[in-house]
Structure formats: C-alpha cells, structure tokens
Amino acid sequence: MQTVVEQDNRERLAALWTVCEQLLHTPHYKSTYANWLSEALLTHGDKSQSIFDTAAGVGFPAKQLFDAGFKNLWCSDADPDLLRQLLQIVDPKSNSVPVLCVDWQSLPKVVMNQFDTVLCLDASIGFMDSWSAGAMVSGPTKVKARVKEVLKNFYDVTNPGGHFYVGLQKNNNRSNQDRYVMEVGTGVLDGSKATATWDMRYDWDARRKTWNNLVEYRGETHQQVRHSYLFDKAELANMLIEIGFENAWELPTPEFLYEDIIIAKKAR
C-alpha cells in the first residue's frame, strides 16, 4: 500500500479527522454516549437548559443531544470544513441551532451569551494550539499558563451556577511515559475499507504529546503528525479551580469512552 505523507495543513487534517471520526464514533458509541451524557446533564437542569458545544466539529455529540430533546443548543468550532458537515445535519434553514466558526482563544470576544452548560468534549482540549497547525508553547510553566488562559474563556461563557464539561483522552496518564498505540477502528466508508491507528508519544517534561495519525483509506496510507499539550485529569481539575471555578470533579465514565470527563461548576 502506498504511504502518502500529508501536507501539514488544516484541510488535510479535517479530511483525515472525518475518516477517523466515522470509525471512532460508531452508531453504538454515539447513542450510548448520548444517553449517558443526557443523564449527566439532567442531574443539574432540565432539557431546556442552554448548552454550548464548543468543539462541535462534524456534530458529535451536539446532534445526538439535539435529537434527545436538548433544543436550546449552540455549536462552535474553529474548523470551517468540519462545521460545513455539521450544517448539513442540523438543518441550517431552521435556524434552531446557531453555529459559529470561532476559536476558543476568542470565545468571550465573539460570544456575548453565557450558557448553563458549556461542553468541550471528545478529547479536544489538548489540541487548542495545534489542531490547525498553530504556534504551540513548550515547557511546564508556559503550557500551564496557556491552557489556563483558554480555560478562563470557557469560564467566561458559562452562566453563574452553570457547568463546564471537558474531556481528556484516557491515555493522558502518567502510566504512559513513552508510547501508546490506539487502534481507532476499521470499517467500510463509501465502499472502501478504512482503518485508523493513532501512535502517540509522550514528553511529560515538555508537556507535549505527539500524535501520529495513520489512516488507511481507498488503498493508500495517509500519515499526519500533530502535537497536543500534555496534562492529566488531576492537573486539569486543578487548573479549572485556579482560574475561578468553584469546584471541579471527575464524572465517572463508562469503559467504552476514550475520554475522561471533568465537570467544573461556576459559583452563583
């Protein structure tokens, strides 16, 4: 099979993510995740609570929540190509789900509303400066300051008394010191066999994880390397408290989820 080393640009990442997303988010993953998330959301509000999915991408889990009756929903993401796919499924003509193309770094400058529940799920947070080949900082002090800067933006768009849900890959833990290989999945997409593997390397000193994204699709192997900031769930919870949330705790996740989830509550 021919290996294609991809150009390091946003469009290629969006294309590869679209393949990975379909392998990772199987119908079973999406529906069981949505049921589980709905139950969690209903512990602190009813279905009319305002929800802002800030890592909406192609629409998971926003679409599933909308279908489950959470209609007071906004979506955003920094990637216009992924949002174009989301717009195909949320029926843009109905105007019922505002969809914004905005990065987390600019959230409070662009979004004047506050929401009862703000979501940054699907293990997205670590990619804040790298998903679209942005400039990353390096080293524990700079990374922590940078992550806190962005977490504060999520705080700002959360209503007093509201909740922020943030997901982190389960493999972001200290038992992974060097390398972790995750079989994302195998399936048939548009009539072609597709397989994705994420080969991840850990540099805890630099606080940087290297993500080698290997996707076999339509008879070719595509490869693209990205980096994300590296921190574990306890560090994430501490940062959430440090930037102002009243409390932060782990929501126990079913084993099939590939992310841990921390909930932070903003004081009234």
Residues that bind ligand SAM (CB under 6 A): 21, 55, 57-60, 77-79, 82, 103-105, 122-124, 127-128, 131
Q: Positive or negative, the Cα torsion across 48, 260, 232, 106?
A: negative
Minimum gap (Å) between residue 245 Cβ and ligand SAM: 20
Q: Which is nearer to ligand SAM, 111 or 240 (CB)?
A: 111
Neighbours of 5 (CB within 10 A): 10
Q: Which is nearer to ligand SAM, 4 or 101 (CB)?
A: 101
Minimum gap (Å) between residue 223 Cβ and ligand SAM: 18
Minimum gap (Å) between residue 105 Cβ and ligand SAM: 6
Minimum gap (Å) between residue 55 Cβ and ligand SAM: 4
Question: Which residue is closest to ligand SAM by CB?
Answer: 57
For residues 194 and 15, is the Cβ–Cβ distance under 8 A?
A: no
Minimum gap (Å) between residue 100 Cβ and ligand SAM: 10
Minimum gap (Å) between residue 145 Cβ and ligand SAM: 16
Q: Which is nearer to ligand SAM, 189 or 267 (CB)?
A: 189
Minimum gap (Å) between residue 21 Cβ and ligand SAM: 5
3 state SS for the chain: CEEEECCCCHHHHHHHHHHHHHHHCCHHHHHHHHHHHHHHHCCCCCCCCCEEECCCCCCCCHHHHHHCCCCCEEEEECCHHHHHHHHHHHCHHHCCCCEEECCHHHHHHHCCCCEEEEEECCCCHHHCCCCCCCCCCCCHHHHHHHHHHHHHHHHHCEEEEEEEEEEEECCCCCCCCCEEEEEEEEEEECCEEEEEEEEEEEECCCCEEEEEEEEEECCEEEEEEEEEECCCHHHHHHHHHHCCCCEEEEECCCCCCCEEEEEEECCC
